[in-house]
Homo-oligomer: A and B are copies of this chain.
């Protein structure tokens, strides 16, 4: 159903208000169990992953691209100006969809059906979370487990940076950070804690196992000492001998995740 809306303050557009305001969005999205998908390709992938469409917000120019999705949902058609007025920025990808969240699998259930996982502890940057989902999907990781405080994969920026990979790879969120790693180990995973620490085992030398969990820590501080201590092994990415002299002693978490997934998880 197509509905023309002329006013950025129209309450029917409430799902899309001020998409740039992270704090506002976080509470709005969790309270209403929604998230925003941006652009035709990502919207289609979210629909394909089973998320219900609450509504679509687009301009006259782009309605045609979503005509088959449109059939089943409410579509608000606005001018470019109203679009920018509602969201807080010009929307270049033509369409936004407000989607309903679906229940995540429990960690235990997910662990039972996968062999290669990445575990993210307290990453705060949505772009990093999205980029790691994309890497994981591209490089053969079966699933991702998030610590309780890790940033939301369905936040707009995560979804966008992941290019929709957040809908392609299953994930679950731990309820208990303190006991979370023990649960993964108890499920038969060899847990490898990635660290820049030079005394850790180089990735290429680490002993593999049937089931492997690669642990990645937060942007500033890396993995917590609790998880580092509990993991089966600390592993590191070999760097250039000159790097230390240059004052560069680590990689960013996306680069580290990419190298580790490429080199390790596909062995």
Contacts and interface: CB of A to CB of B under 8 A. Distances in A.
A163 B246 CA distance: 11
A246 B135 contact: no
A92 to B, nearest CB: 11
Q: What 6 pairs between A and B have smallest CB-CB spacing?
A: A140-B240, A255-B258, A168-B246, A137-B248, A258-B258, A138-B243
A247 interface: yes
Given A164-B247, A169-B246, A247-B168, A134 B262 contact: no
Contacts of A70: none
Nearest to A250: B138
A168 to B, nearest CB: 4
A134 B262 CA distance: 19
A165 B248 contact: yes
Given A140-B242, A242-B140, A135 B251 contact: yes
A161 B254 contact: no
B131 A254 contact: yes
